[in-house]
Amino acid sequence: MATTALDPYTLVVGGGFALAFAFGLVAARTNFCTMGALSDIVNMGHWSRMRMWLLAIAVAIAGTSLLAYTGQVDLSKSVPQRPVIAWLSLLVGGGVFGVGMTLAGGCANKNLLRLGGGSARSLVVLVFLAIASYMTLKGLFGQWRATLLDPVRIDLAAYGWTDAGLATALAKATGIPPKTALTAVATAVCLVLAVFVFRDRRFRANTAQVAGGIILGTLVAAGWYLTGHLGYGENPDTLETVYFATNTRTLESLSFVGPLAYLLELLMLWTDKSLRVSFGIVTVLGVVAGSAVHALSTGHFRWEGFASLTDMRNQLVGAVMMGFGGVTAMGCTIGQGLTGVSTLSIGSLLAVTGIVGGSLATLRFIAWRAEREPVLSTA
């Protein structure tokens, strides 16, 4: 019997769900969380979860760079690599997101994982995050972003840059071929990260975290291959060469803030036939499903609500800040912290700097306030 190949749209949507399912399963199994990693460092001096995140970054960079070097994907067409750096939006948006995820006790990815584990609290957080994200894409917050932040930018295309990558910066500075520059930058960054990650004996002995970092980084690279290679082809209706099933109409990998807004839009405007399930939307659902399977199979599924009115207030404020900040910075701890950085994008590095800075400042403020509370109560 003859077999019928999947059309690109179905392949991207189905493959995206499978990748995100694996991501959710592994992230839940290894307790992967960027905000948690930063909190471990500030409050306990523990670097294990940070090393796992950095290992995932190194693997994602290696895999994504290999895809670009061999011509499997054209990263210059991706959103992180566009040769216009809205640096103020990236830094401010990243900072706001970092503060928000700390107030909410976790980023978008962590709340998706918690939702799969039975957290009704995270469902509420994600709904508010999605509303704020949509408002920043197309609503009131979007006008503020487009008017006050986005115009402050550097147009690298005016200087002959084809993208905003570190490899292109090296090629322009030294005159070496772009592929040589890509190899040099990717190798140097991955080596530095690998040396730092594996210099710790306790981390080397933690096979779950080592495997988790490798798998999560590989899944990010696989997302680029899925949407940028397998999902790139001729549209039979228009005969144009397009990227199928992505909201940005170009290649994508894992990211959750914008897709939450698109999921909300799809649910609200379900009868609008111009809207379809996209790669980003199914990745949101896939992470929840993967986390749910882990929670149910290990007996860790527990219904959970807000601890107090103060907890609810902090979580909802944090959710709104994450929605605004994530869209303004063009990604979250996954969308920029793994996916964007995997392209060696200068803009992604700025966004991650903002996210980490905002979270660290908030964590230290919370710790400072907690230290002063006993003094104030006895004064």
CB 281 within 8 A of CB 16: no
- The model's confidence at residue 5, banded by pLDDT at 50, 70 and 90, is low
- The model's confidence at residue 237, banded by pLDDT at 50, 70 and 90, is confident
Q: How much is the pLDDT for 235?
A: 83
* DSSP assignment letter at 2: P
Asked if residue 1 has pLDDT above 90, the reply is no
Here the tokens at position 178 are 């772009």
Here the tokens at position 336 are 């920029």
Q: How much is the pLDDT for 3?
A: 45
Whether 18 is covered by a domain: the verdict is yes
- The model's confidence at residue 379, banded by pLDDT at 50, 70 and 90, is very low
Tens of pLDDT, residue by residue over 28-43, are 999 999 999 999 999 9
Whether 97 is covered by a domain: the verdict is yes
Q: How much is the pLDDT for 375?
A: 52
Q: How much is the pLDDT for 371?
A: 83
Instruction: Please provide the average confidence, as pLDDT, over all residues in the chain.
Output: 94
Of 258, 263, 281, 266, the closest CA to residue 330 belongs to: 258
Of 327, 330, 328, the closest CA to residue 81 belongs to: 330
Whether 311 is covered by a domain: the verdict is yes
Whether 2 is covered by a domain: the verdict is no
Tens of pLDDT, residue by residue over 166-206, are 999 999 999 999 999 999 999 999 999 999 999 999 999 99
- The model's confidence at residue 355, banded by pLDDT at 50, 70 and 90, is very high
Determine phi and psi for 186, rounding to 5 degrees.
-60, -40
CA-CA distance, 83 to 164, in Å (whole number)?
Answer: 5
Q: Write b or e for each residue in 231-248: b if 16 or more Cβ atoms lie within 10 A of its Cβ, otherwise e.
A: bbbeeeeeeeebbbbbbb
Tens of pLDDT, residue by residue over 93-150, are 999 999 999 999 999 999 999 999 999 999 999 999 999 999 999 999 999 999 999 9
CA-CA distance, 214 to 351, in Å (whole number)?
Answer: 23
Whole-prediction pTM value? Answer: 0.94
Here the tokens at position 4 are 């019928």
Of 132, 94, 138, the closest CA to residue 323 belongs to: 132
Structurally, the chain folds into a number of domains equal to 1
- The model's confidence at residue 373, banded by pLDDT at 50, 70 and 90, is confident
- Across 220-231, average pLDDT: 97
* Angle separating helix axes 309-328 and 87-103, nearest 10 degrees: 160
CB 20 within 8 A of CB 286: yes
CA-CA distance, 355 to 365, in Å (whole number)?
Answer: 16
Whether 358 is covered by a domain: the verdict is yes
Tens of pLDDT, residue by residue over 320-347, are 999 999 999 999 999 999 999 999 999 9
Whether 60 is covered by a domain: the verdict is yes
| Residue 195 CB partners (closer than 8 Å, separation 6+) | none
CA-CA distance, 323 to 71, in Å (whole number)?
Answer: 34
| Residue 291 CB partners (closer than 8 Å, separation 6+) | 24, 25, 27, 28, 112, 113, 114, 115, 116, 117
CA-CA distance, 47 to 68, in Å (whole number)?
Answer: 31
| Residue 217 CB partners (closer than 8 Å, separation 6+) | 55, 56, 57, 58, 59, 60, 61, 62, 63, 338, 342
Asked if residue 4 has pLDDT above 90, the reply is no
CB 342 within 8 A of CB 127: no
Distance from chain centroid for Cα 106? 13
C-alpha distance across the termini of the chain, in Å: 83
- The model's confidence at residue 374, banded by pLDDT at 50, 70 and 90, is low
Domain range spanning residue 85? 8-378
- Across 40-65, average pLDDT: 96
